[in-house]
Amino acid sequence: MNKGRGCYFLQTLRISNAMQKLGVKGRSQAVVELLRMGELEL
């Protein structure tokens, strides 16, 4: 159970960092950019 929460937290942190670095306005746009770069998988 904790492993899932920790993983979710790290992904949330990664997306927040990507939003700042990529200069995107929303989480969905950051997720799309991370997917394109191969940094995130579905």
Q: What is the mean pLDDT of residues 16-34?
A: 89
Query: What is d(CA 3, CA 27) in angstroms, rounded to the nearest whole number?
Result: 23
pLDDT of residue 4: 58
CB 27 within 8 A of CB 15: yes
The model's pTM: 0.65
Q: What is the DSSP letter of 10?
A: H
Q: What is the DSSP letter of 38?
A: T
pLDDT of residue 1: 43
